[in-house]
Chains A and B, each alone.
Chain A
Amino acid sequence: QKEVEQNSGPLSVPEGAIASLNCTYSDRGSQSFFWYRQYSGKSPELIMFIYSNGDKEDGRFTAQLNKASQYVSLLIRDSQPSDSATYLCAVTMMTDKLIFGTGTRLQVFP
């Protein structure tokens, strides 16, 4: 089992819809959870981070963390074509090591 798993996609959603991106992790002691967005050929940029169970909202983005089920999600409301990118989930293990998933490619079509 991979330490951090994401569906590679592509996830295709129409403009204006909600995009839901999921990530599961193997270490129950994981502490910190990050979502990065990466456009093709560019560097990853931080979208959100979450440390506690529950939801965290920032504009059109909501991160959801469920430690009991070991998953973290990113919801993008009112998706725009400019949101089309690869979304990387990163999880800090109990050892303080940060592990990245391989990313989910999101396509938002007009």
Chain B
Amino acid sequence: EAQVTQNPRYLITVTGKKLTVTCSQNMNHEYMSWYRQDPGLGLRQIYYSMNVEVTDKGDVPEGYKVSRKEKRNFPLILESPSPNQTSLYFCASSGGQWGNSPLHFGNGTRLTVT
């Protein structure tokens, strides 16, 4: 089954404790992206990747890191999480031209930072 898999689904952590949210897709998509979703603010892009070893900042990259060492994986790293990073996170991938093809979303990761 074609899918984007995120883990974990729920995560509660404390300020400053490094964490990684994994994202993997089995559709051989070149484009992958991370979003956060907050009430009233909608989906905002954190980072995106056009291909292996090619990543770039989205609209809200501060406090996040990403890497794209393999085509299928695009982990999101929070080196020192803070409470303002409490949010619902989605990984997404697309098989076509960046921005012009539909996105396939993972199931989401609800992160709480205390």
Enumerate chain A interface residues (CB-CB to B < 8 A): 8, 31-32, 34, 36, 41-46, 49, 88, 90, 92-93, 96-98, 100-103
Contact = CB atoms under 8 A, between A and B. Distances in A.
Q: Which among B99, B104, B105, B106 has the highest number of chain A CB atoms within 10 Å?
A: B99
Q: Which among A44, A49, A103 has the highest number of chain B CB atoms within 10 Å?
A: A44
B100 A31 contact: yes
A102 B104 CA distance: 18
Interface residues on B, range: 10 to 19
Interface of B: 40-45, 90, 97-108
A103 B105 CA distance: 16
Nearest to B4: A43
A46 B43 contact: no
A92 B102 CA distance: 11
A44 B100 contact: no
A31 B99 CA distance: 9
A-B pairs, 7 with minimum CB distance: A102-B42, A43-B105, A96-B99, A100-B43, A92-B99, A32-B100, A98-B99
A96 B40 contact: no
A98 B43 CA distance: 10
